[in-house]
Chains A and B, each alone.
Chain A
Amino acid sequence: VDLTVPEEDVRFRAEIREWLADNKPTSMPVLDSAEGFAAHREWEATLFDARLSAVSWPREYGGRGASLWQWLIFEEEYYRAQAPVRVSQNGLFLLAPTLFEYGTDEQRVRFLARMARADDVWAQAWSEPGAGSDLAALRSTADRVDGGWRLNGQKIWSTRAPFADHCFGLFRSDRQAERHRGLTYYLVALDAPGVTVRPIIQLDGNPSFAEIFFDDVFVPDSDVLGDVNAGWKVAMSTASSERGLSLRSPGRFLASADRLRDLARNLGPDAPPSLRADVAQAWMDADAYRLNTAKSVSRMNDGAALGAEMSMNKVFWSEMDVRLHGIAMHLLGDRAELTLAAPAADGTGHWSDDWMFCLPGTIWGGANEIQRNIVAERVLGLPRGR
């Protein structure tokens, strides 16, 4: 075990910190609105032009070829700076790893740089009304037609879809096949004829979800990702990104933990003693998550693939996140419910937003009940549960 940080990574951190200080926008409209989307796209383009949108990508797609360690450093600095939420994150963190693994060269050239510049914003189209945690129960269909496929059905809980340009998801391309077999992974333009997007207001009041209806939507063969009828395997590489490293880098939690500590410190003697211990535990949990991530990155650098242990990761970070923000609400007491728009919030109004934001973490990416099943069966080797 060696935790020595190389000099070049120290310099990298300094460069990122300085760039963010110089370039970070001072205020941004709420993301899930036409105006907000436009502003956030512009910010992603600024990031991209500095080769900071996806630092670990190869240079040919607009990245810097940075190491995973440097990517983690970028994330830490990004969240420390409280820079804007990444409008392109579903594409960057969920689709891009799959494109690198299963895409064709033509697809990578066509999609990646535009994704990282937020010229194209991607939404995921996984869940259906009858297929949530049990994703393999999905019923939307794909039928072979000349030069491509015709999609029909309904997807739901598609984050960012109300304002996004494209979506990625699974459709049943072989109706005779059972469950996991006979699914294919498609990339679909949301302005294609036959696509209808209906926004859904989330718990926080914003239209961040949508349901997407597909009525005879044509998708060319060139927009199939991976092999036909091999979609489950292709999608699972995305799912393990969603559970594991990429979408929830430690940077977000370290920054939240430091802000929680500052909140408790600013309350001074008004902070209830019992909550001091809770604050310390939340701060330590974020630190422990960082250390566990360091272990995962070391394993990846050794050439190992991350597997079912990513389900332990997902259980840990999502429940830690809810605890951490819950403690902030308790510290704030009467003022906890105030939003950014409330004059009396006095700089703490973001906590109610942040708290709402963290709540679905234990649900998306496979509910934590499913994650615990996976841990039991695939990490501990227990028999399949009933």
Chain B
Amino acid sequence: MRFLPTDEQLAITGAVREALAKECSPEVLRGADDGARSARLWTALATLGVFGLTIPEAHGGLGLDQRDAVAAFTELGRAAVPGPLAETFAVAQVLARAGDPDDWLPRIADGSVIVTLGLGDAPLVEAADRADLLLLEHDGSLYTVPGGEVASTREESVDPNRRLSSVRWGPARATRLIGSDDLVSVARDHLLLASSAFLVGLAKQILDLTVRHVMLREQFGRQLGTFQAVQHRLADVAVGVEFAEPVVQRAGCSLVAGVPSAWRDVAMAKVFASDAAERAAYAGLQLHGAIGYTREHDLHLYAIRAWVLAVAHGDASAHRLRVADDLLSATPAPRFPAS
């Protein structure tokens, strides 16, 4: 029992952070979302091992687990890397459990293909128009659909770095995936886990930016950071992040251990991460003042993503009710680890 990052996880954190400072700097995020930018970024992420992190070594990956993925996704969030990242992670987890028909995993690991995921009815799917493979939910099952064979319409997001399409289920070369687990749940849990870690990273970035701003900015002849109202608002953001991160890390452990509470622990991760990131983004905007309400300042690159991801894939309220349904049922899953 040691609830702290391992040396390997610290190494992942350091390597991803360092690489992304260059490959996904604010300038890169401000650049046009053309093919060249995303190809360059995709190659850099593949080289870092981000896509293959949890793919088994036999399929060309690094063979690490969901706990390591949490470390990586926290840093991806800190840099607000454009997707489909959580989707790729979830798709790889599903394919690995379905025996990887058609050998997609090695190509996901080396970044030579783009895959994405759509859950629920008429989902908004990230990068659906560029994907080589989509996993779509239909009638309670997951299907693989080759890219270019889905009926999709590009949709504009308030976040220029989100490339969304609405996808309709229709006649296409769809193949139902079969595995020993409930693959829709596998997809949802991993999408939520990665999104939660990403949100924690965004919250950390926004907190850092805002602390820096209130140290530099002076009004009434003193640094903003000396005002107690400012200090207390930031202290609350810090508390939110401090308590969200272990919840997300635990959810990773729960998925690795395959305990009955795993889905609930993931839902709880999304509750805490969404709340922490949303709180950070509102505080960040407020404390930056007018400059924060511009696209000249970097804050928006992170704050807008925090707002949209906090409510995507089920907001805190929706997942809180999922947790409530379990807790108030006749047989709630026991806490993990046992208490």
Contacts and interface: CB of A to CB of B under 8 A. Distances in A.
B67 interface: yes
A289 B328 contact: no
B101 interface: no
B4 A1 contact: yes
A376 B232 contact: yes
B253 A1 contact: yes
Contacts, number: 164
A239 interface: no
Interface stretch (B19-27, B31-39, B110-118, B222-230): B222-230
Interface string B201-235: 00000010001001100000011011110111011
B232 to A, nearest CB: 4
Given A265-B328, A295-B4, A1 B339 contact: no
B187 interface: no
Interface stretch (B52-60, B169-177, B290-298, B318-326): B318-326
Contact of A291 (B2, B6, B236, B247): B247
A280 interface: yes
A264 B238 CA distance: 31
Contacts of B242: 292, 309, 312, 316
A316 B239 contact: yes
Interface stretch (A29-37, A139-147, A165-173, A367-375): A367-375
B1 A382 contact: no
Contacts of A261: 327-328, 332
A280 B339 contact: no
A254 B339 contact: yes
Contact of A377 (B67, B231, B253, B268): B231
Interface string A1-31: 1111110011001000000000000000000
B143 interface: no
A288 B235 CA distance: 18
Interface residues of B, number: 53
A276 interface: yes
A341 interface: no
A252 to B, nearest CB: 12
A276 B324 contact: yes
B145 to A, nearest CB: 35
A303 interface: no
Given A1-B67, A375-B238, A284 B323 contact: yes
A290 interface: yes
Given A69-B1, A373-B231, A377-B231, A386 B226 contact: yes
Nearest to A289: B243
B324 A277 contact: yes
B253 A281 contact: no
A302 B4 contact: yes
A291 B215 contact: no
B324 A384 contact: no
Contacts of B335: 254, 287
Contact of B268 (A5, A287, A302): A287
B148 interface: no
A385 interface: yes
A81 to B, nearest CB: 13
Contact of B234 (A1, A10, A315, A380): A380
B338 interface: yes
B3 A312 contact: no
A271 B253 CA distance: 33
B232 A369 contact: yes
A299 interface: yes
Contacts of A6: 1
A303 to B, nearest CB: 12
B317 interface: yes
A312 B239 contact: yes
Contact of B211 (A279, A315, A373, A382): A382
Contacts of A381: 211, 215
Contacts of A157: none
A321 interface: no
Interface in A234-281: 254, 261, 264-265, 271, 276-277, 279-281
A309 B207 CA distance: 16
A299 B5 CA distance: 11
Contacts of B215: 381-383
A163 interface: no
A10 B222 CA distance: 55
Nearest to A271: B328
B6 A1 contact: yes
B93 interface: no
B226 A382 contact: yes
A385 B339 contact: no
B9 A1 contact: yes
A284 B271 contact: yes
Contacts of A10: 338
A13 B84 CA distance: 44
Contact of A385 (B5, B227, B324, B338): B227
A1 B324 contact: no
Interface string A342-373: 00000000000000000000000000010111
Nearest to A277: B320
B2 A298 contact: yes
A1 to B, nearest CB: 5
Contacts of A78: none
Contacts of B271: 281, 284
Nearest to B231: A376
B321 A375 contact: no
A279 B320 CA distance: 10
Nearest to A384: B226
A74 interface: no
Contact of A5 (B1, B4, B67, B228): B1
Interface of B: 1-6, 9, 67, 70, 207, 211, 214-215, 222-223, 225-228, 230-232, 234-236, 238-239, 242-244, 246-247, 249-250, 252-253, 257, 268, 271-272, 317, 320-321, 323-324, 327-328, 332, 335-339
Counting from the closest, the 3 A-B pairs by CB-CB distance are A376-B231, A280-B324, A375-B235
22 contacts: A1-B252, A1-B253, A3-B337, A13-B338, A264-B328, A276-B321, A277-B320, A280-B320, A280-B328, A284-B272, A284-B323, A288-B244, A288-B272, A294-B1, A302-B2, A315-B239, A369-B232, A380-B235, A381-B215, A382-B215, A383-B215, A385-B227
Given A1-B5, A3-B1, 6 more contacts: A2-B1, A291-B3, A294-B3, A316-B242, A381-B211, A382-B230
